[in-house]
Amino acid sequence: MARYPAWGSRSRIRWCTIRLSSPVAAKNRMAVEMSMSDQYKTVDGAQVGVLMGSVSDWPTMKKTSDTLTRLGIAHECNVISAHRAPRRLEHYCSTAEQRGLKVLICAAGGAAHLAGVAAALTHLPVLACPMKGWATDGLDSLLSMAQMPKGIPVATFAVGSHGAINAGLFAASILGLSDDTVKKAWLDFRADQSAAVHELPDG
């Protein structure tokens, strides 16, 4: 219960009492929470959450998803724009840790605020993937992500598919610190990659 000032007919303050945690309010809050979590996909056992500002980012971010799959890392992919669905983003990020996620990878183009806002809403590490937009070849999103002011960091990767793949690999290097299966997959990947590098060109 709390008392709040309310304006009376002659502009004098009246006091009204609001029951802050009435059963009806709690039920409404629960309904809002439930409908909010219906608006994004969750995967049991996911360690990484991949977020995109738009479905138009998916052809690039599918490479992150493929990289995580190749390394055996359970993950979930969602489109949640910081600009177009801010409340959904808040709900997703503020429940991320309790749902078992350990790393978020955020991709957006243009004025890309997704990674920064996500990092403001969770203390989990946030990896940022700038997308090539409709102008400036992705420089706008690169700077939006790389130029975060001190206090809330995001780790920013290269524009486009190279950054998308590296973000997946970087997630593996983070998870590998505490997960031996992921560590082995990550080390195997690196060893295979080294073995595939030839010293001299053919011919």
Residues that bind ligand AIR (CB under 6 A): 52-54, 56-57, 81-84, 108-112, 131, 133
Q: For residue 88, which amino acid is it?
A: R
Whose Cβ is closer to ligand AIR: residue 140's or residue 174's?
A: 140
Q: Tokens 């030839």 — which residue?
A: 198
| DSSP secondary structure string for all residues of 102-127 | -EEEEEEESS--HHHHHHHH--S-EE
CB 142 within 8 A of CB 162: no
CB of 72 to ligand AIR, least distance (A): 28
CB 110 within 8 A of CB 134: yes
Whose Cβ is closer to ligand AIR: residue 60's or residue 122's?
A: 60
CA dist 41 and 105 (Å) reads: 15
DSSP state for residue 194 in the 8-state scheme: H
CB of 80 to ligand AIR, least distance (A): 9
CB of 161 to ligand AIR, least distance (A): 14
Whose Cβ is closer to ligand AIR: residue 57's or residue 76's?
A: 57
CA dist 183 and 151 (Å) reads: 29
CB of 122 to ligand AIR, least distance (A): 18
Whose Cβ is closer to ligand AIR: residue 157's or residue 186's?
A: 157
How, if at all, do strands 13-18 and 48-52 pair? Answer: unpaired
CB of 111 to ligand AIR, least distance (A): 6
Whose Cβ is closer to ligand AIR: residue 133's or residue 176's?
A: 133
Q: Which residue is nearest to ligand AIR (CB)?
A: 53
